[in-house]
Amino acid sequence: MKTSLTCLRCQKDTLHSVVYQGEIIRTIRCEECGLEISFDQKKLLALYGEDLVKRVLTKPRRLTEEYEKDLFAFFSSIPFRIVTKPYRILKELESLQDE
């Protein structure tokens, strides 16, 4: 899924690829500079609450303008401290598979 969002690095609206893992957004990547944002879902849940996280990060049945607005607002409000590097997520997935 691709949508236009404000890139934190480019400081302007660029096309972003939104990658889902199952029904939940895993990463959002800027197509222009390649900046990739992934989310620590536990911290997101703690900060925003389950309802909002589910509403915004769960794959919509269809992409509506309202959803894009929600995603944009959400994305813009995310503090950097809850954004994790993609490799950490991969590590976590790998460690889950080991168990």
Contact set with Zn ion (CB under 5 A):
7, 9-10, 30, 32-33, 35
Give the helix ranges, DSSP H, for the chain. 41-48, 50-57, 65-77, 86-98
CA distance 67 to 59: 10
Residues with Cβ within 8 Å of residue 88, at least 6 apart in sequence: 38
CB of 53 to Zn ion, least distance (A): 24
The residue (of 12 and 62) whose beta carbon lies closer to Zn ion is 12
Residue number, 6 or 41, with CB nearest to Zn ion? 6
CB of 58 or CB of 76, closer to Zn ion: 76
